[in-house]
A and B are shown apart, each in its own frame.
Chain A
Amino acid sequence: AQKITQTQPGMFVQEKEAVTLDCTYDTSDPSYGLFWYKQPSSGEMIFLIYQGSYDQQNATEGRYSLNFQKARKSANLVISASQLGDSAMYFCAMRPLTGNQFYFGTGTSLTVIP
């Protein structure tokens, strides 16, 4: 069975500080992709960053980086230098090679405090 777990329903961070959003996953597939999406109050789902299960290095995209620990099956998102516009829901998702669909976690609501 495929499962994504996000244990932090809500997080607060001071503007300009870094914050880590947790994500663990469960799959028996040896090959899979991990994705993070941002969903502001407007409702659109915005792709942030991708990590492949066989990637040797942690992914980075601007202020976003992924702390990928394969043995622990965790793929935590790190947002550096938080901005007020980062306030949103954040979803972790996994796409296993088998099945090809995306499995989402329940999300973390991030609030950036000025």
Chain B
Amino acid sequence: GAGVSQTPSNKVTEKGKYVELRCDPISGHTALYWYRQSLGQGPEFLIYFQGTGAADDSGLPNDRFFAVRPEGSVSTLKIQRTERGDSAMYLCASSTDGLRSEAFFGQGTRLTVV
């Protein structure tokens, strides 16, 4: 596809369950970012991949959150033992390298933990 694709668009899960959120970036984009956005707030950085490796995972809130990008393209954000406070919009973005390259965002996955 032409843009960043995120699936599912909506996910409702019970507290304590495990969830996976998928991001398919724009082909050729080496940089991939995950953000979390609560209502009325700005995107909060979670993790940044350069190629297959996590270049910066300092934004992951705790060890329940984990993300992978095994082949340098598709990425999966994994949340274990979900809590109600994890409810938010999870945004994925991809970019080429270089200061002038903007981040292209997907439509996001709305996660609701009940």
Taking Cβ atoms with an 8 Å cutoff, the residues of A that contact B are 4, 6, 31-33, 35, 37, 43-45, 47, 50, 52-53, 91, 93, 95, 97, 99-107, 109
Contacts and interface: CB of A to CB of B under 8 A. Distances in A.
A101 B45 contact: yes
A111 B15 CA distance: 36
Nearest to B45: A101
Given A100-B48, A104-B42, A104-B43, A31 B91 contact: no
Contacts of A107: 40-42
A102 B107 contact: no
A45 B91 contact: yes
B99 A101 contact: no
A47 B100 contact: no
Interface string B74-114: 00000000000000010101010101101111011000000
B14 interface: no
Interface string B7-19: 0000000000000
A44 B89 CA distance: 11
12 contacts: A37-B105, A43-B108, A45-B103, A47-B103, A47-B104, A50-B100, A91-B42, A91-B43, A97-B99, A101-B56, A104-B45, A106-B41
Nearest to B108: A43
B56 to A, nearest CB: 6
Nearest to A99: B56
Nearest to B91: A45
B112 to A, nearest CB: 14
Contact of B99 (A4, A52, A104): A52
Among B41, B43, B104: residue with most chain A CB under 10 A = B43
Contact of B107 (A4, A43, A53): A43
A14 to B, nearest CB: 24
Closest 10 CB pairs of A and B: A45-B105, A33-B99, A104-B42, A47-B102, A101-B48, A106-B42, A104-B43, A107-B42, A102-B103, A105-B42
